[in-house]
Structure 1
């Protein structure tokens, strides 16, 4: 069935967007082929006006694909997603992203239905009874917000470097792994100490490593603004003086973007899996001379767009958590897992992949760890407001080769005065994070450490 026509105000605004930014390639009149018994719900409504309304209100759309009984009208949930919308004030781009995900979800739902023994294997959902209504005022207010932001952004670009990431750490009397239940809001937010940074580049994705001699090593992404291509840098920490080296050193640099330097040890060697989605690979490096010399050990996967790959060994099975994109869209909102008998072996995809499809919960934000209650905790990025806005700690309650389940333990917002927090790692009594801030271009940030 073809989609209904836009209301008059929304028709005007889509013409404005196309005039300002060119044809986005969106297909508002398109439809997705599916079985007659499979329907799509937008925020619980069957009519697509609910999707338009969510996008115009800059909300995260909740898309569900369900089986609907032709006799009773009962609905069973087959697939769903809280879709990441990177540019919320661009309606056509946001709509295109949402419709692409609809196509993926319908295909995913049909495969799950074919593989199921009975439709009763899926949970019952109850949609909204009345159709969603979109008012002209919603469209007009969206247009005003967009144009106002466009006007204000021009001087802001000259005065402020937005999205400038810095690293911070703190020491704690108790292991930081036991602190997953608490929040960073309030007085605790003043305990973070930022590391020396540069105005010419940002630092993010910190991973902490403790050597056999007790020394701490910090690996992280360095991204110079002039190249916009990340490299992996290293800095050492002296526990005796409680101070970091003054100048970080680049230890891994490729012709493509690198970030998120996940580290693990196996059979006496230290390995790194940096994000290499710009090369459409998942690559593993071995420390030829720790911590400064790294050589390619294995390409785990090819022809994939995978972000923030993280391994976990439960004593028997190796698990790989990674965010992949199927439709060329954002990889902020889906998490897939794989398992293997060895970190160097073949990886088998989990039958429930993606195990999470939610921009608030999906993308990895650091090492899995056991908390003070011996729960297995997965730090996840909350990208609902924007990329890297906050953290969500998820307890993994079920992890087998056929099943997966998790629940939220706590949410951590960035400390006061910062706009983002998207990586959390801890070793011993030291916890490291990254923080998003705004850098005043006329007042460069200098080297001495200061309180966040």
Structure 2
């Protein structure tokens, strides 16, 4: 070391070493220092631009682009979802529960409100449809909620009060909300939060006793069953008494045979909880356990836990139970109830399960039913429902990230097979160090011997596979193509589960209410394959109530040939005419009609947005294909001409919402006869005629059309030879002729409407 230090002092007097005056002489200290500084940078750039790194970077960019494109095409833009509070209606692992209302002649023949055909002009709900209360109802009223469930009715005179559990979006615990209806359940006013505590509340069982109104909600976390008394009904409540020191869930009280009976399930055990019964002379206690409590039913998965208020019907007492937790409700007839005896049997409950799956507000499950007898002798009921199953959010995230991980593994496998990656598992797991190993490393090696051997065998197998397929170009290309396709599929599947929501295409409320419409299409025998695909797809859209098929030519199909989730009607016409599209049909049960050609496929969400816009402007034609007609030249042109002029004054009714009462009446009025004759002559222009009739019935400055841009739309007629307007040039010439004739008959079209004039951006 002293010798080296002498070199460091060379050149100075008394340096004690060989003096280096030549420029070729190299200072080894400087050389080693330079090498130390340059080597890390050399290895860094070598790794940065290695073939393996470039391969993984290219795959990341490519798969990321594919995932982005897939999301753009498939998912509903967040800006489309309107009417929801920014802090309410968040995705929740417990579900997205809503509440619906039902009516019937008995508790066993209940029909949803839309089947009763109640119309509400103020909200353009013709008819009003379930659900009646959602998280949006409460969030829009200023009370942020993720979901609403466990509904109970309290009827006071002609006023309905609805109590329910609402999960607070901020505290993430259950509170008790309340709403009021003065029109027999058609519209609801959110009054606010009736009861909240420092622990979660649910199942707000409300009852009357000695002129006082009481509420008995679940307080599982508190491990008590509490009864509250109304000080100022329905928003002010005071704790009256703790009637039981047990974590009971879904507890209900019923007055039967001169006694009060308490039904509940102890939540401290596992599973759904066995039914327990107590009796007392007062709903405030003291409570005496039933001699056979807990009640051990034959099938523990059915009808154990309460699912709503017990009720009397034709002198018999019935109890509502829920299957497991939140799947569906069952009704049990109580055949014996005394201090020492209890017997119940399940009775049929013909609740029609929705066939639209996640697009129905209760398509996945329902768990709670409250039925009550009205003074008129009819029955009313409220029920909660969910479009997804319990734990859906966590399950989607697990599946999503597992899919992404699987795609990453396949990309590494591709790299190995291409020779760009040497191994899948790090070599330092496998290669034994030739140097001295410490005790801790040897202990790790012994404890992970299986992992080391497994990694070694996998790497050897992949190396062997790479050598084998290297000599077979076709096999190599095929294998790499299959692996990459699988990676793309896994990435798309992962993105869908992580970012795509629960997969439902829910309807959009207008002024807090939902409604339904009729889907109408006109077709003939040569387009039957289109029709089958059309019916299967659109019948699953949330707001579609029925589908009417106007059959213009050929032998009509049988209803059994169609896979429809809603009622399907086929109206066979004697004459093949485009005028049949707007014929007055008394069998149509809704005011809103979506005229949609059978060769147009778009998402249910696009359809729901169009319906929402039409409910805002029911006096307009609301559709998805805009056109601009220059009234000075009267020449028919495609959509790009409207885009060029930044506006439109016509909507094609091959995909448009109209008011069936007004539109059909105008089209078949006496003043439209000349126009109908021209349509019959050209076998064209029926949609152009309807636009002129709307403009003719309005003032010159009134807007008569509204555009909604679909996320995507496919014209399936291009895949067949059955398109009506295959020759575009001839088709456009006919329409230009129609424009001239209709302008002479009915005057000008309405004023031009600009694109992107809506605040929600739906008309970009």
TM-score relative to the length of structure 2? 0.34
Alpha-carbon distance in structure 2 between the residues aligned to 1:445 and 1:233: 23
**2:97 alignment partner, SS class:** strand
Instruction: Please identify the structure whose Cα radius of gyration is greater.
Output: 2
Partner of 2:343: 405
Query: What is the correspondence of 1:101-250 to structure 2 with a 5 Å cutoff?
Result: 163-172=95-104, 174=105, 178-180=106-108, 182=109, 193-198=130-135, 200-211=145-156, 213-239=157-183, 242-245=186-189, 247-250=190-193
More strand by share: 1
Alpha-carbon distance in structure 2 between the residues aligned to 1:346 and 1:322: 15
- How far did residue 242 of structure 1 move? 3.4
- Contact (CA 8 Å) 2:91, 2:146: kept in 1 or not? no
Query: What is the correspondence of 1:52-451 to structure 2 with a 5 Å cutoff?
Result: 163-172=95-104, 174=105, 178-180=106-108, 182=109, 193-198=130-135, 200-211=145-156, 213-239=157-183, 242-245=186-189, 247-302=190-245, 304-325=246-267, 327=269, 329-330=270-271, 332-357=272-297, 358-371=300-313, 373-383=314-324, 387-411=325-349, 412=351, 414-416=353-355, 417=357, 418-427=363-372, 428=374, 429-438=379-388, 440=502, 446-447=508-509, 448-450=512-514
- Contact (CA 8 Å) 2:247, 2:266: kept in 1 or not? yes
Alpha-carbon distance in structure 2 between the residues aligned to 1:189 and 1:292: 31
Partner of 1:130: none
**1:295 alignment partner, SS class:** strand
Partner of 2:455: none
Distance 1:285 1:232, change over 3 A: same
Unaligned runs of 5+ residues in structure 2 are 1-74, 79-89, 118-127, 137-144, 358-362, 389-500, 516-541, 543-764
- Contact (CA 8 Å) 2:107, 2:371: kept in 1 or not? no
- How far did residue 325 of structure 1 move? 3.6
**1:223 alignment partner, SS class:** strand
Alpha-carbon distance in structure 2 between the residues aligned to 1:363 and 1:413: 22
- How far did residue 444 of structure 1 move? 7.9
- How far did residue 272 of structure 1 move? 0.4
Distance 1:343 1:179, change over 3 A: closer
- Contact (CA 8 Å) 2:103, 2:110: kept in 1 or not? no
Alpha-carbon distance in structure 1 between the residues aligned to 2:334 and 2:207: 20
- How far did residue 214 of structure 1 move? 2.1
- How far did residue 227 of structure 1 move? 2.7
- Contact (CA 8 Å) 1:390, 1:414: kept in 2 or not? no
- How far did residue 355 of structure 1 move? 1.1
Distance 1:266 1:164, change over 3 A: same
TM-score relative to the length of structure 1? 0.57
- Contact (CA 8 Å) 1:414, 1:435: kept in 2 or not? no
Alpha-carbon distance in structure 2 between the residues aligned to 1:394 and 1:317: 20
- Contact (CA 8 Å) 2:92, 2:146: kept in 1 or not? no
**2:161 alignment partner, SS class:** strand
Alpha-carbon distance in structure 2 between the residues aligned to 1:160 and 1:414: 24
Question: Aligned-residue CA RMSD in angstroms?
Answer: 3.1
More helix by share: 2
Distance 1:184 1:240, change over 3 A: closer
Distance 1:241 1:195, change over 3 A: closer
- How far did residue 263 of structure 1 move? 1.0
- Contact (CA 8 Å) 2:158, 2:184: kept in 1 or not? no
Unaligned runs of 5+ residues in structure 1 are 1-155
- How far did residue 430 of structure 1 move? 2.3
**2:221 alignment partner, SS class:** helix
TM-superposition CA deviations, 1:248-294 (whole Å, max 9, x none): 41010000010000011111000000011110000000001111111
- How far did residue 240 of structure 1 move? 6.7
- Contact (CA 8 Å) 1:189, 1:415: kept in 2 or not? no
**2:292 alignment partner, SS class:** coil
TM-superposition CA deviations, 1:360-403 (whole Å, max 9, x none): 111111111112x32211010012xxx21101100000000000
Alpha-carbon distance in structure 2 between the residues aligned to 1:237 and 1:435: 20
